Structure 1
Amino acid sequence: MTTGNDIISLVSEQQDRDKFRRKNWVGTFAEYLDIVRTTPQVTRTAYQRVYDMILSYGVDVEKNGREKVYRYRFFDDPTNDGRDAVFGLREPLHKLVNALKSAAFEYGIEKRVLLLHGPVGSSKSTIVRLLKQGLQRYSTTDEGALYTLGWVDEENREEVHWCPMNEEPLHLIPERFRADVMAQLNRDRGLDDFKVRIRGELDPFCRFMYQQRLKKYDGDWTRVVDDIRIKRVILSEKDRVGIGTFQPKDEKNQDATELTGDINYRKIAVYGSDSDPRAFNFDGEFNVANRGLIEFVEVLKLDVAFLYDLLGASQEHRIKPKKFAQTDIDEVIIGHTNEPEYRRLKNNEFMEALRDRTVKIDIPYVTTLEEEIHIYEKDYNEKTVANKHIAPHTIEMAAMWALLTRLEEPKHAGLTRLQKLKLYNGKTLPGFTEENIAELREDAVNEGLVGISPRYVQDKISNALVAHPDARSINPFMVLNELASGLKHHGLLNNEDTKQEYRELLDVVKEEYSNIVKNEVQRAIAADEDALSRLCGNYIDNIKAYTQREKVKNPYTGQYDEPDERLMRSIEEKIDIPDSRKDDFRREIMNYIGALSIDGKKFDYKTNERLNKALELKLFEDQKDSIKLTSLVSNVVDAETQQKIDVVKGRLIRDYGYDDESATDVLQYVASIFARGDTKE
């Protein structure tokens, strides 16, 4: 039996006390200069640190035609089991990382506000959350280390007054000495090596302490830095260290001091002046986010008074705390907003200064079916949905409908919106190359910026799970019905024409689902490999005799008969081989078999996709009447038929992911289609 001490020992064995000591390191200014000399990256700017943090997870480069596609593994959220993974936004994420790279190399973007723009539910907040969490984790690693300074108390040498803005300790070096110091620190470094640069001045608190000590020591700077202690900084949103978040409130409750700090009136009595930095709380979001990142939630809802602080912070890297001079900051400024707010920005001439200092990065909805499915499977899978089975294609159909609402009607004649969705998802269609698909995307300017949010779909999947308590399995129709009923009261859809369009797209999805499950049931019925092999052998014997102008030996009579044209055409017609092309197709199969024989390989019908499909459809046609699938509709099933149906059901469960309930449902649904005479292939 496990005891309390056993559990304590279990935790004790997994402790890393060396790592704890490194994270809580405290030393002198001289020791810090030694660290800078050996590891200059500790002096990186916030943009450099965020960019390096993203790259530290690795980058995959893939070819897409002539273009390169970059996948930054960081956005897969690898350290958090993918719970916040961002799917299907490779190009927007590449643009974001490029902006961070430009800022890291100081090409000008570091003087801008990064603005993530897109519809509700398009992962804007998730992307910023990933950056904040990633930066926190990175600061705990040796590669992401950064440091700040503090002042030894004059009366109690064991006490240290730490910098309230966690600023870079090299700010202690006076301006006139910085060139020489940088030359020393960067000596022997190569052209591509990271080089130390000292920019920025001490914040008001540290500047006050610095001047006070300089007077005390009669201008002896070396004695001033003897009073300095350096410590490792671990960024943390919860502890309000290096990570800030600002969310606009109503005008009555907004106060600019939330960004730049406020006077501590209790300490005025101690220090005698409201302009003494020791009587000031440097706890505004800009203050606490120094050396890290600040997020502006719905940034364009900011009051105009706040925008002045934002403009100065982005362009000049400075803020203006009450009663103090301009104060340097070093932080990534990133905000996000939706389309209505951005339109207001564009139409407001008083916001021109903000527009000029903004780098807009569109974060659209996903427009690739496979990626959209990943979004929902993250929340609805065997691990997350207890005591419920999600039938095959349920998530797929919901995702398909969501994507159809986001895609623009194709301008290409004869191309439907559903076909366009399939092209985007990697399916090939005659006459469409990768260049054509790229053109389709370029022509659709607003694609992904309109349509249904993933949140709406997630809500309706949740509704379907709880609305059918007695069902062990939820199927696509349960979810599609929830999606349809919710449109009536959808909070963001006020246009009745749009609602009607979305209802019609649900019908498109239902038709596609019918085709998919009909095909699955057909394949399950025709999954008798022995029967398929016999049918294939019979077909090959006949086309061999046909192409070589011979006769076929009848296995029953022993007589030699003419090739069975009816059998051959019944198979070829299943894959739309016209009578005028039958000779070409038959010779193509025989040439394929001959080429395999030359290489010493045996022909297998499964390796020829078209022939395999034709054989399955032919076998299905031959067997469906013997199985009497339509008898399921009338519920009159004899024992022999039930046995055959159970075999098909078992194949659906084994090969297609159904459970007993959903397999029964799908068989009854397909049976009802055939009962209506809908046998279109």
Structure 2
Amino acid sequence: MPTGAELIASLAARQNLREYRKINWKGTFSEYLDVVIANPKVVRNAYQRVYDMIIEKGVEERIVNKEKQVRYLFFDDPDNNGRDAIFGLDKTLANLVNIFKSAAYGYGTERRVLLLHGPVGSSKSTIARLLKRGLERYSQTDEGALYTYSWIEEGPDGERIEIECPMNQEPLLLIPREHRGEIIDLINRSLPPDHYPITVEGELNPFCRHMFNEKLRKYDGDWSKVLQDVVVRRLILSEQDRVGIGTFQPKDEKNQDATELTGDINYRKIAEYGSESDPRAFNFDGEFNIANRGIIEFIEVLKLDVAFLYDLLGASQEHKIKPKKFAQTDIDEVIIGHTNEPEYKKLQSNEFMEALRDRTVKIDVPYVTRLSDEIRIYEKDYNNDKVRGKRIAPHTLEVAAMWAVLTRLEEPKNAGLTLMQKLKLYNGKTLPGFTEDNIKELREEADREGMQGISPRYVQDKISNALVAHPEVRSVNPFMVLNELEAGLKHHSLINSEETRKHYKQLLTVVKEEYENIVKNEVQRAIAADEEALARLCGNYIDNVKAYTQREKVKNKYTGQTEEPDERLMRSIEEKIDIPESRKDDFRREIMNYIGGLALDGKKFDYKSNERLLKALELKLFQDQKDTIKLTSLVSSVVDKDTQEKIDIVKSRLIRNYGYDEDSATDVLNYVASIFARGDVKRT
């Protein structure tokens, strides 16, 4: 173990002092112009910077139900090991990024409040947090660099004092508007033709305007000399330091006023400067002030007092705020808020807030409706690497996610489709009679899906309960979690009707039935996992199918005699995957065409490559072997040695092939054995 001094020395050696000096760069105004000429992007506005930040992380495209979907890898939270990764909301996030893109090009959405709207726990706060934290990191990179300035003053003892711009404004604002356009034109001419135009809008804030005018008088109107009293510095955005990242949350109306957004008078300095309207006697530290150049988040924005909502109107449409005693002041920031549905409905019904509605872009953030994405949400926090001292049995998180998604889906209008089948279709499974067009229609006819149902937070709480409520067991199984989910429904504060509670309980029953089918299938496959036996059975089936389709006879390997194809064998396999008598010829030709196609490509047929045939062979072999294994004897107290050896083989296959451990494999075998003991064997 190293000493404290050795440990400090070891860590100190890893410091990147060169990087520190880079992000703490300071220079003259003319040196800053050299930086701008070399890299015009340092002049970007807040929306342009956020858009580039997202695009920089990369984009993936995929086709889902014949639709091209774009996934922005920024929302995988790669810089934070995926801790806040967002799953299943690709459409929502693509919509949000399109708004940022439109704003970057100046098409109008930069003058709107972005309102994330959705049920509780649907990732609204996470999206805002990703944007804020991402902007902090981006400002520290070469690609995301931005700059501000300080005023150089002489102190009482002749020392040099730097007074920071209180709103961290863009240094080019120091160039008078009538001359600024020439520099902006030079910048834009150096950019690619399809790049969004760089603009520098607005005027200096009241404090800097006062400083500029004072120095302009000092230099007899020569603004170029004023710039000699300016030092430009690199700006690093930080929510903790209240630089470029602001967060505002509603509080008690009695303890809250507009100065929290736009700053307040510093009464201690009035005696020094002689007037309330002197900008040096004003604290430009409201959330709008400090968020300049970056992003401001309004938590539960529609719970704000009406007076605060009025401040949003000017801030969004005009990019201006009104500090007390001063003229309107320009701001450059992304305004993003989030709210739930009840609050949004209040806004819609309030005719006095029509102006705010007109300045709002609503982005629906629904719950996830794809099972695989919901599972990934829980796997972030509850995987076997993170759950110390316990193991989570296979399918535990899956059944919890399955129930959560089912509560969010609307009953299909197609009478031949169950809610569970709809869930499977959404998750990419294929069902006979349903195409990708049908799936698209299902989604279109259910416009409320994802905006209702159970929150992931509720499920996460119940998984946590299951982990601590059973100290005597080492493996948490699906039934423990399902029981916690059901028990919690009695006191769930967001379920406002007994009918809804009853519906959710019924869905738990549906999930239990599905889990039963899953584990029975796994045990069946584990029993039938004798590869040699499967290969022999497959070879026998293919020989007979080939003879049948070519109207030939089969040579009996034992007698050497030629015989008619074994129809009984072929049908005993085909029936396992519900191939009816009327379709057997089509299926057999399909198999032979599949084998022929592989041969043309120079590939050898392997029964494992055809999923349907593999399933049929496994079920056939299971049917033939289950009685010899006597799995039902597990529920009795006495198991003979031969049976125990066979059961141990099945258990080892469950552990090797399906992710079970010793305890969970024993549990699932006992559970499936009890089903067989009841004679409840489902033919699939």
TM-score, normalised by the number of residues in structure 2: 0.96
- For structure 1, which segment, 364-373 or 215-224, has the greater mean C-alpha deviation from structure 2 after superposition? 215-224
* Residue equivalent to 2:250: 248
- The letter of the residue matching 1:470 is E
State the identity as a percent.
Answer: 73
- For structure 1, which segment, 541-550 or 130-139, has the greater mean C-alpha deviation from structure 2 after superposition? 541-550
Instruction: Find the partner of 2:444 among 442, 445, 449.
Output: 442
User: Are residues 557 and 571 of structure 1, via their aligned partners in 2, closer, same or farther at CA, if it must alter by over 3 Å?
Assistant: same
Does the 8 A contact of 1:41 with 1:194 survive in 2?
no
User: Are residues 587 and 294 of structure 1, via their aligned partners in 2, closer, same or farther at CA, if it must alter by over 3 Å?
Assistant: closer
- The letter of the residue matching 1:17 is L
* Residue equivalent to 1:208: 210
User: Are residues 230 and 157 of structure 1, via their aligned partners in 2, closer, same or farther at CA, if it must alter by over 3 Å?
Assistant: farther
Distance in 1 (CA, whole Å) between partners of 2:83 and 2:588 is 52
Q: By how many angstroms is 1:240 displaced?
A: 0.2
1:323-342 alignment to 2 at 5 Å?
323-342=325-344
Distance in 1 (CA, whole Å) between partners of 2:202 and 2:307 is 25
| Per-residue CA distance 1:394-436 (angstroms, 9 max, x = gap) | 1111101000000111112311111111111111122322222
Distance in 1 (CA, whole Å) between partners of 2:381 and 2:433 is 38
- SS of 1:70's equivalent in the other structure is strand
Does the 8 A contact of 1:37 with 1:186 survive in 2?
no
* Residue equivalent to 1:47: 47
- For structure 1, which segment, 446-455 or 611-620, has the greater mean C-alpha deviation from structure 2 after superposition? 611-620
Instruction: Find the partner of 1:287 among 282, 286, 289.
Output: 289
* Residue equivalent to 2:609: 607
Distance in 1 (CA, whole Å) between partners of 2:292 and 2:674 is 66
| Per-residue CA distance 1:459-516 (angstroms, 9 max, x = gap) | 0000011111111111111111111110010010020000000100111111111111
Q: By how many angstroms is 1:346 displaced?
A: 0.5
- For structure 1, which segment, 126-135 or 25-34, has the greater mean C-alpha deviation from structure 2 after superposition? 25-34
* Residue equivalent to 1:469: 471
* Residue equivalent to 1:117: 117
User: Considering only aligned residues, what root-mean-square deviation do their CA atoms show, in Å?
Assistant: 2.0
1:157-556 alignment to 2 at 5 Å?
157-186=159-188, 191-192=193-194, 196-546=198-548, 554=556
Does the 8 A contact of 2:105 with 2:197 survive in 1?
no
Q: By how many angstroms is 1:139 displaced?
A: 0.5
| Per-residue CA distance 1:86-125 (angstroms, 9 max, x = gap) | 1000011011111111111111111110000000000000
- SS of 1:159's equivalent in the other structure is strand
User: Are residues 230 and 560 of structure 1, via their aligned partners in 2, closer, same or farther at CA, if it must alter by over 3 Å?
Assistant: closer
- For structure 1, which segment, 32-41 or 98-107, has the greater mean C-alpha deviation from structure 2 after superposition? 32-41
* Residue equivalent to 1:14: 14
Does the 8 A contact of 1:260 with 1:282 survive in 2?
yes
Distance in 2 (CA, whole Å) between partners of 1:73 and 1:100 is 16
* Residue equivalent to 2:85: 85
Distance in 1 (CA, whole Å) between partners of 2:170 and 2:392 is 54
Does the 8 A contact of 2:65 with 2:439 survive in 1?
no
Distance in 1 (CA, whole Å) between partners of 2:184 and 2:580 is 80
| Per-residue CA distance 1:301-324 (angstroms, 9 max, x = gap) | 000111121111111111111111
Q: By how many angstroms is 1:437 displaced?
A: 1.2
* Residue equivalent to 2:650: 648
* Residue equivalent to 1:28: 28
Distance in 1 (CA, whole Å) between partners of 2:368 and 2:12 is 45
Is 2:112 the partner of 1:100?
A: no
- The letter of the residue matching 1:229 is V
User: Are residues 4 and 504 of structure 1, via their aligned partners in 2, closer, same or farther at CA, if it must alter by over 3 Å?
Assistant: same
Distance in 1 (CA, whole Å) between partners of 2:410 and 2:367 is 13
Distance in 2 (CA, whole Å) between partners of 1:196 and 1:571 is 69
User: Are residues 634 and 260 of structure 1, via their aligned partners in 2, closer, same or farther at CA, if it must alter by over 3 Å?
Assistant: same
Does the 8 A contact of 1:394 with 1:479 survive in 2?
yes
- SS of 2:443's equivalent in the other structure is helix
- SS of 1:630's equivalent in the other structure is helix
| Per-residue CA distance 1:339-393 (angstroms, 9 max, x = gap) | 0000110011111111111000000001111111100000001221111111111
Distance in 2 (CA, whole Å) between partners of 1:535 and 1:316 is 76
Does the 8 A contact of 2:292 with 2:331 survive in 1?
yes
- The letter of the residue matching 1:273 is S
Distance in 2 (CA, whole Å) between partners of 1:180 and 1:573 is 80
Distance in 1 (CA, whole Å) between partners of 2:549 and 2:73 is 55
- For structure 1, which segment, 94-103 or 544-553, has the greater mean C-alpha deviation from structure 2 after superposition? 544-553
Q: By how many angstroms is 1:660 displaced?
A: 0.9
Distance in 1 (CA, whole Å) between partners of 2:211 and 2:467 is 62
Distance in 2 (CA, whole Å) between partners of 1:123 and 1:187 is 40
Distance in 1 (CA, whole Å) between partners of 2:175 and 2:672 is 79
Distance in 2 (CA, whole Å) between partners of 1:86 and 1:265 is 46
Distance in 1 (CA, whole Å) between partners of 2:397 and 2:212 is 62
Distance in 2 (CA, whole Å) between partners of 1:106 and 1:567 is 71
- SS of 2:412's equivalent in the other structure is coil
- The letter of the residue matching 1:138 is Y
* Residue equivalent to 1:676: 678
Aligned residues: 681
User: Are residues 5 and 680 of structure 1, via their aligned partners in 2, closer, same or farther at CA, if it must alter by over 3 Å?
Assistant: same
Q: By how many angstroms is 1:217 displaced?
A: 2.1
- SS of 2:631's equivalent in the other structure is coil
Q: By how many angstroms is 1:187 displaced?
A: 5.6
User: Are residues 275 and 502 of structure 1, via their aligned partners in 2, closer, same or farther at CA, if it must alter by over 3 Å?
Assistant: same
- SS of 1:153's equivalent in the other structure is strand
- For structure 1, which segment, 75-84 or 183-192, has the greater mean C-alpha deviation from structure 2 after superposition? 183-192
Does the 8 A contact of 1:40 with 1:194 survive in 2?
no
- The letter of the residue matching 1:673 is I
| Per-residue CA distance 1:548-583 (angstroms, 9 max, x = gap) | 666655555666655444333322221223334444
- The letter of the residue matching 2:313 is L
- The letter of the residue matching 1:52 is D
Does the 8 A contact of 2:27 with 2:233 survive in 1?
yes
Distance in 2 (CA, whole Å) between partners of 1:119 and 1:464 is 25
* Residue equivalent to 1:141: 141
Q: By how many angstroms is 1:543 displaced?
A: 4.1
Does the 8 A contact of 2:538 with 2:607 survive in 1?
yes
- SS of 1:177's equivalent in the other structure is helix
Q: By how many angstroms is 1:608 displaced?
A: 2.8
Distance in 2 (CA, whole Å) between partners of 1:191 and 1:538 is 67
- SS of 2:127's equivalent in the other structure is helix
- The letter of the residue matching 2:501 is K
- The letter of the residue matching 1:345 is L
- The letter of the residue matching 1:642 is Q
- For structure 1, which segment, 607-616 or 493-502, has the greater mean C-alpha deviation from structure 2 after superposition? 607-616
Q: By how many angstroms is 1:190 displaced?
A: 5.5
Q: By how many angstroms is 1:188 displaced?
A: 5.6
Q: By how many angstroms is 1:220 displaced?
A: 2.2
Distance in 2 (CA, whole Å) between partners of 1:63 and 1:580 is 35
- For structure 1, which segment, 25-34 or 533-542, has the greater mean C-alpha deviation from structure 2 after superposition? 533-542
- The letter of the residue matching 1:86 is I
User: Are residues 264 and 438 of structure 1, via their aligned partners in 2, closer, same or farther at CA, if it must alter by over 3 Å?
Assistant: same
Q: By how many angstroms is 1:184 displaced?
A: 4.9
- The letter of the residue matching 1:275 is S
| Per-residue CA distance 1:632-676 (angstroms, 9 max, x = gap) | 122321111111111100100000001111111111111111111
